Amino acid sequence: MMRDIEERYQRVGEDDHSFDIQFWQSQGDRAIFEAVTEMIRDYYLIRGIHADEFRLQRTIESFRKA
């Protein structure tokens, strides 16, 4: 699969994030979600944490009316 590559060069320390914002907004929700999921998996892998079950995907142990 061929993808277009977009690049931007700037000095280190320049805080202009407009390119990043424009890029990710153009990717759509699904691409953003997949990128975040990949980053979480990488984080767990680097830390040596078993990544089969993410923290937010736990089974409910109790449920009661508030």
CA quadruple 35, 37, 41, 44: dihedral positive or negative? positive
Give the whole-angstrom CA distance, residue 10 versus residue 23.
Answer: 16
What is the pTM (predicted TM-score) of this model?
A: 0.57
**What are 16-65's pLDDT values in tens digits?**
888 888 888 998 999 999 999 899 888 888 988 876 656 665 666 777 88
Residue 6 pLDDT: 79
Mean pLDDT of 9-21: 85
